[in-house]
Chains A and B, each alone.
Chain A
Amino acid sequence: MTTFGKYIHAIIQQGRDEARKDGSAAVEAQHLLLAIAIEQEATTHQVLTSAGLDLRAIRDALDREFERSLSAVGVSAAAFDLPMPSSAPERPQRLGASARLAIERGFTSAARKKDLQPMNLLIGILQAEVGTVPHALSLAGTDRAGLAERARQALAGTGG
């Protein structure tokens, strides 16, 4: 397996853990983003933290996005006082639509397959203009498009 192949495999495995913790039946783009933050690969870590996006900040941004989106229609996540449900025994296998799009975009962001770097996956995630991840980043005051551009520049700087 190529270095990029190993990286994306590790991210998807970590993303499956995040999806399971989230009670999600599929791995979505936000789970891949959390996985990238957990993995702390040097180049992507540098770009994310330059925008103040460490793991804690990303989790907080996603939590706030959930609360804000619900409150826009007058719903509070805390309205039902039920104990937390038990987690599924297995991690979801399925990649959701947002994760598949992010991976596809990541792949097409490299000129040639052999040029693929970890950063390409982050670029693929940051390319989404709508959906949970861009909405969460926007609510957190992060300039998503600017961050995507910085990721591209960082990639160009490494000759990728």
Chain B
Amino acid sequence: MSGVESPASSDPAEALAAVTALRRLADRIEDAAVEQAMRAGWSWPQVAEALGVTRQAVHKKHAQRLIAAGVALRRR
């Protein structure tokens, strides 16, 4: 046993592929989590604050999709 790092995690190709996959997973979790929060009655400012982004950013990224999905969105 030479250490805790697996061979895969010291390979830059694997690490770069992991970054791509993590971004994709983070986007997918964000889409799902924002949708669940808004369905549960959260407001845009609450979701924005939880994500650490502006209300405008979260609205721009998710509003169209949630409206199309029929989610009842709270005003401010």
Q: Do A and B come from one complex?
A: yes
Residues of A within 8 A of B (CB): 23-25, 65-66, 69-70, 72-73, 75, 77, 80, 82-90, 130-132, 135
Decide: A23 near B9, CB < 8 A? Known: A72-B17, A88-B65, A132-B20.
no
Interface of chain B residues 4 through 29 with chain A (CB within 8 A): 6, 8-9, 13-18, 20-22, 24-25, 27-29
A-B contact pairs, 5 of them (CB 8 A): A72-B14, A85-B65, A86-B66, A86-B68, A89-B65
- With a cutoff of 8 Å between Cβ atoms, the chain B residues found around residue A80 in the complex are 29, 32-33
Report yes or no: B20 in contact with A72, Cβ–Cβ below 8 A. Answer: no
Summed over the interface, the residue pairs from A and B with CB atoms below 8 Å come to a total of: 76
- With a cutoff of 8 Å between Cβ atoms, the chain A residues found around residue B1 in the complex are none
Report yes or no: B17 in contact with A65, Cβ–Cβ below 8 A. Answer: yes
The complex places the Cα of A25 from the Cα of B9 at a distance, in Å, of 28
